[in-house]
Structure 1
């Protein structure tokens, strides 16, 4: 049965800047996880105090040049990492492909082109690119137009032969097949666009009292049905709520609230129920704009294009190093899970994706037990330890060709895109690079891991995971980060 996980901080910036969103939760058995008293004050006195509030705490910090331990709390305790899991995905992808890996998406056909007419089906061969956007698909369609194609006498088929639609294994994603108020719960496929998320731009109407104007973030067409209940007002602030509902395989964006007259457009993001269908609607719109007619309609398929098909247009996605920067900075669940599926052997599934990450982690010296169920951390059952995460950070630090790319995706609190991490002293905020993870159900999870530079310029790594034993008590990020920042700040100052 799927397990519910709840994410906080569900925001997106723009389609091309990438959305933020997600962090999620794990299901773990917390019975009998009392922390050893002798370990509780070892280098993490402020963090250890969280255990007195009823939470399970695991932590470790070490210097990376000497391996010297600077502190620990139950470092081998198996815990839920939430979005800290994305560090495993990023590291495994870098080790597998290197920073310049690009995924290729192609339009293929075995038909012939006669007087501007492609006689035969056109296949969209999705390459498992986690970052394909509407702009990339525009380039694909322009490739067809440059061949002089003005009509396709056949079907346009979105091929999900690599993977998709991927079976949901958390309640969030399963529920999102019919309705959602989030972007973090996007469905997974190798043939997606815009992170499997609808983006609507809401603009004030021409006068007070009239409905707001709605368009797609990528152009004037909305591509899916919109139920517009947003009113233009002259007084009061802008406030818009959105829900995507799905009936009879048709997505509807239900928008309500108000927008102030003369204000700037507001972008709203919600995951789509069927990413391949969303991709096909995007292609249909772009082909229409390019003057390319399609006589046979649009459909998704799980069949692989035959070897006899030829590439008519292709787009290479952004290099992996750029994809990871976006994935980690904005904690993008869709990107992380698609990358993990790309790493999977055999028939890609969430289980095989998790197994690929486990195999990678098992090869890290000193890591210890691990059980990753996804690349994003949305799966509440994922388990690792503070020692394991710190071993991962240590391992990547000693990969000179990969470390700069790996650490670049983390946030320095003083200037990172997520404001909630701006806690602690200025010294702490300027001296750490970190990744956070957040889940609220079935138990609260706050996890943070990353690197720090000491006063003398030495590199250190740290991991802190705080897991609840039940849905309550709730723990906020301010409490967690202020405790972690206090302890790490002492380590920075003392070395």
Structure 2
């Protein structure tokens, strides 16, 4: 079934994350090609595309820039428009410049107590710095390493410390409708990802049909924890019957409700669902891992702050930022965008907040020569409908970063049109297939309700690389993505000699 929600984002393009609900809509993805007629100039043809009836009451803003930086085409290029996940270009560039391609996140286990024989005579602290790559097995590994120190008893509490960031979990404009989904996950300095896409702050729920008709379906959660409560009202029906799932997570807790039917011998239904207060899930996972490794905890599991001067017992260092950029950009990972924003705020201003982080992004954009008068930053992922940037400023950024030492990391992380490998083609892997744009166009997609964008690089028939930014806002008559794709395909087929 198709769930009722405010925004789609690019999550609908992770097909293995959506087996029954949120199917890939082929009409949504395919280019509806308009004829290329070289009797018309590039400007005339792009103007024609932008007269599409679907844009009659919408804002279409387009800007194209040459390798030299000169303007090739502009249609409302100076008008501020909502880029959706195109926002990740701004945050990503600022993060590479501010943190550096080799930046790593750090998770440590600390104590201020002595180990006497096999007993730690006090509290144990788990402190995070926002690492989105921490998997359940990483917390189990930390517990194993504590056991390897010879500790069999903790005569104190196990304490989770997420104070590296502030305690504001959700960005200002994130609606309730989106807060339950993976693309609206809460941001914490201590989190866990259920997969190597690094969807921090979420769990994977799988529903399988029961053995017999009339039985409850089987529902499992990964990572498994008592912190999640499943309310199962999914019934197994006969083979060939209707399979559908309605689901929800209660606001303010982790009670997850599932209703519907699953056909016997039917496909697995799988969903990534955000967790309320991910720090407490991490605490539960780490505490349980200590017990599983034979460690007795005499105290409680609770939240707190690591004392200054505490001794480090074990740690885990993440992969470098440059290796995190592929899931961030190609898969349009919202959690990573928000974590990078707060991390920049902490590193530069010693404040792990959205306000501090977005101030750092603004500083970088100013340094890059962008006119900030028409730019409005509200979050790190692009979920806010109040983010705004004129396309001519986006292409200015795309031109500027080509001289940055980290440009290859940035450029290589863009989704590539028509390449089916999800870690290469990313959110463009099903678009512009069989056109001159296939394997050519590198672009960052953006998608919110009634808003779409694509910004990036395209090589023309002459071998010239153009920078483009296409942002369509407030269209309500069908889907306008095919208009974007037609423009980009035309650029890929363009020659200065026309």
Q: Distance in 2 between matches of 1:93 and 1:8?
A: 22
SS in structure 2 of the partner of residue 83 of structure 1:
helix
Q: Distance in 2 between matches of 1:325 and 1:477?
A: 26
Residue among 52, 60, 65 paired with 1:62: 65
Q: Distance in 2 between matches of 1:391 and 1:214?
A: 49
Residue among 438, 442, 453 paired with 1:433: 442
1:481 aligns with 2:492: no
Q: Is the 8 A contact 1:449 1:462 kept in 2?
A: yes
Residue among 124, 136, 140 paired with 1:134: 136
SS in structure 1 of the partner of residue 323 of structure 2:
helix
Q: Is the 8 A contact 2:472 2:480 kept in 1?
A: no
Q: 1:24 is matched with which residue? A: none
Aligned ranges 1:38-117 → 2 under 5 Å: 41=43, 44-50=46-52, 53-64=56-67, 66-117=68-119
278 and 480 in structure 1: CA distance in 2 versus 1, 3 angstrom threshold: farther
Aligned ranges 1:229-308 → 2 under 5 Å: 229-236=233-240, 238-246=243-251, 250-263=253-266, 265-301=268-304, 303=305, 305-308=306-309
Q: Distance in 2 between matches of 1:241 and 1:418?
A: 26
Q: Is the 8 A contact 1:47 1:484 kept in 2?
A: yes
SS in structure 1 of the partner of residue 78 of structure 2:
coil
Q: How does the TM-score come out when normalised to structure 1?
A: 0.83
Q: CA deviation at 1:438?
A: 1.4
Q: Is the 8 A contact 2:83 2:388 kept in 1?
A: yes
Residue among 331, 340, 349 paired with 2:353: 349
Q: CA deviation at 1:414?
A: 0.8
Q: 2:30 is matched with which residue? A: none
Q: Is the 8 A contact 1:110 1:121 kept in 2?
A: yes
Aligned ranges 1:358-437 → 2 under 5 Å: 358-369=362-373, 370-399=375-404, 401-415=405-419, 416-418=425-427, 422-423=431-432, 425-437=434-446
Aligned ranges 1:126-165 → 2 under 5 Å: 126-165=128-167
Aligned ranges 1:208-223 → 2 under 5 Å: 208-218=213-223, 221=225, 223=227
Q: Distance in 1 between matches of 2:435 and 2:93?
A: 29
394 and 465 in structure 1: CA distance in 2 versus 1, 3 angstrom threshold: same
**Unmatched 5+ stretches in structure 1:** 21-39
SS in structure 2 of the partner of residue 84 of structure 1:
helix
Q: Is the 8 A contact 2:234 2:260 kept in 1?
A: yes
**Unmatched 5+ stretches in structure 2:** 23-41, 194-199, 420-424
Q: How does the TM-score come out when normalised to structure 2?
A: 0.83
Q: CA deviation at 1:435?
A: 0.8
Q: Distance in 2 between matches of 1:279 and 1:139?
A: 13
Q: CA deviation at 1:411?
A: 1.0
1:226 aligns with 2:230: yes
Cα RMSD, aligned residues only? 3.0
Q: Distance in 1 between matches of 2:207 and 2:229?
A: 14
Q: CA deviation at 1:309?
A: 0.8
475 and 389 in structure 1: CA distance in 2 versus 1, 3 angstrom threshold: farther
73 and 365 in structure 1: CA distance in 2 versus 1, 3 angstrom threshold: same
Q: Distance in 2 between matches of 1:493 and 1:210?
A: 66
SS in structure 1 of the partner of residue 256 of structure 2:
strand
Q: Is the 8 A contact 2:418 2:433 kept in 1?
A: no
The number of residue pairs the alignment matches comes to 455
Q: Is the 8 A contact 1:165 1:187 kept in 2?
A: no
SS in structure 1 of the partner of residue 145 of structure 2:
helix
SS in structure 2 of the partner of residue 184 of structure 1:
helix
Q: CA deviation at 1:336?
A: 0.3
The more displaced of 348-357 and 99-108 is 348-357
Q: Distance in 2 between matches of 1:296 and 1:260?
A: 47
